[in-house]
Structure 1
Amino acid sequence: MLNAWRDVDAPCGRVRAYVDGKVIRARGIRYARAQRFSRPVDEPRVDIIDGRHPSPGSPQHRRDPNAGMTFDQLGGLPTSEDCLRVSVTSPANTGDDVSALPVLVWIHGGAYVAGAGDAAIYDPHTLVEEQNIIVVSVTYRLGVLGFLGTGKPEHANLGFLDQISALRWVQRNIAAFGGDPHNVTIAGQSAGADACAHLMIAEATDSLFRRVILASAPLGLAGGTEPMNWAMAKVAEKIDPEASVDDVLAAQDEVHKAALVGGLHAGMCFGVHYGAYPLPAKSDAAAAWSEAARKYDVLMTRTEREIAFFAGFVPAFRRLHDRHLTSPMLESLISGITSAVYTRAAKEFYDRHRMSGGQGTRLLIVSRGDGSFFDAAHSGDLPLLFPGNIWHDSFLDYGQSAQIAGPELRNIWGRFATSGALPRVSVPGLIDILG
Structure 2
Amino acid sequence: MSGAVFETSLGRVAGVAAGGVVHVPRLRYALPPTGARRFALPEPVTAREDISGARTPGPVPLQLPSRLAKVMGSYPAAPDEDCLHLDIWVPEGASGAPVFVFLHGGAYMTGGGSLPCYEGAALAARTGMVVVNVSYRLGVMGFLPLPGLAPANLGLHDQVAALRFIRREIGAFGGNAANITLAGQSAGGFSIAALLSMGEAAARPLFDRAVLLSAPMGMSLQGPEAREAPAAAFLDALGLAPGDRAGLEAVSAEALMAAQGAVLRARSAAADDVTPPFMPVIDGTLITRDPVAALLGGAAAWCPVIAGTTREEHAAFYYGDAAVAAAAPELLARRLEEAWPGDAGALARLRARRPGADALALLIDVTSELRFQRGTRAFLEAQVAAGGAAWAYSFDWQSPDPGIAACHCIELPFLFANTDTWAEAPMLRGAERAGLDGLATAFGDALAGFARTGTPQDGTPLAWPGYGPGGAVMHFDRFTSCSAAA
Fold match by TM threshold 0.5? yes
Q: 1:289 to 1:339 in 2, by over 3 A?
A: closer
Give yes or no for the alignment of 1:302 onto 2:317: no
CA contact (8 A) 1:194 1:222 kept: no
d(CA) in 1 for partners of 2:372 and 2:110?
A: 20
Give yes or no for the alignment of 1:60 onto 2:63: yes
Give yes or no for the alignment of 1:390 onto 2:421: yes
Cα shift at 1:228:
5.3
Output one character per residue of 1:211-268: Cα deviation in whole Å (capped at 9) or x when no partner: 0100000122241688853432332343441321111112112222444358866522
Cα shift at 1:286:
2.5
Give yes or no for the alignment of 1:49 onto 2:52: yes
d(CA) in 2 for partners of 1:21 and 1:87?
A: 17
d(CA) in 2 for partners of 1:153 and 1:109?
A: 26
Equivalent position of 2:432 in the other structure = 399
- Bigger drift between 42-51 and 388-397 goes to 42-51
1:120 equivalent among 94, 113, 116 = 116
CA contact (8 A) 2:397 2:406 kept: yes
Q: 1:151 to 1:120 in 2, by over 3 A?
A: farther
The amino acid of 1:233's aligned partner reads: A
Cα shift at 1:171:
1.1
Output one character per residue of 1:26-60: Cα deviation in whole Å (capped at 9) or x when no partner: 11011102311100001113158355122211111
Output one character per residue of 1:178-232: Cα deviation in whole Å (capped at 9) or x when no partner: 1011100100111111111111123743321110100000122241688853432
Equivalent position of 2:84 in the other structure = 84
Give yes or no for the alignment of 1:314 onto 2:321: yes
Output one character per residue of 1:91-121: Cα deviation in whole Å (capped at 9) or x when no partner: 1255xxx4x0000111100001001101011
d(CA) in 2 for partners of 1:370 and 1:261?
A: 31
Q: Secondary structure at the match of 1:135?
A: strand
Q: Within 5 A, what are the aligned runs for 1:242-281?
A: 242-261=250-269, 267-281=275-289
d(CA) in 1 for partners of 2:222 and 2:363?
A: 22
TM-align CA RMSD: 2.8
Cα shift at 1:151:
4.9
Q: Secondary structure at the match of 1:170?
A: helix
Structure 1 residue runs without a partner (length 5+): none
The amino acid of 1:347's aligned partner reads: R
CA contact (8 A) 1:302 1:365 kept: yes
Structure 2 residue runs without a partner (length 5+): 241-247, 329-354, 457-463, 466-473
2:362 equivalent among 308, 332, 336 = 332
Larger Rg: 2
d(CA) in 2 for partners of 1:349 and 1:160?
A: 21
The amino acid of 1:30's aligned partner reads: R
> Aligned residue pairs: how many?
423
Q: Within 5 A, what are the aligned runs for 1:27-426?
A: 27-33=25-31, 34=33, 35-46=37-48, 49-61=52-64, 63-64=65-66, 66-69=67-70, 73=74, 75-94=75-94, 98=95, 100-151=96-147, 154-202=150-198, 204-223=202-221, 229-238=227-236, 239=238, 240=240, 241=248, 242-261=250-269, 267-282=275-290, 286-287=293-294, 290-316=297-323, 327-368=357-398, 370=400, 372-386=402-416, 387-397=418-428, 398-400=431-433, 401-422=435-456, 423-424=464-465
Cα shift at 1:177:
0.6
TM-score normalised per structure 1: 0.89
The runs of 4+ residues in structure 1 deviating greater than 4 Å are 151-154, 224-228, 261-266, 316-321, 425-428, 430-435
Equivalent position of 1:11 in the other structure = 9
d(CA) in 2 for partners of 1:420 and 1:169?
A: 23
TM-score normalised per structure 2: 0.80
Q: 1:299 to 1:136 in 2, by over 3 A?
A: same
Q: Secondary structure at the match of 2:203?
A: coil
CA contact (8 A) 1:225 1:262 kept: no
CA contact (8 A) 2:292 2:379 kept: no
d(CA) in 1 for partners of 2:297 and 2:87?
A: 32
d(CA) in 2 for partners of 1:55 and 1:431?
A: 39
- Bigger drift between 217-226 and 177-186 goes to 217-226
- Bigger drift between 111-120 and 293-302 goes to 293-302
d(CA) in 2 for partners of 1:406 and 1:93?
A: 24
Cα shift at 1:68:
4.0
d(CA) in 2 for partners of 1:231 and 1:262?
A: 18
Cα shift at 1:353:
1.6
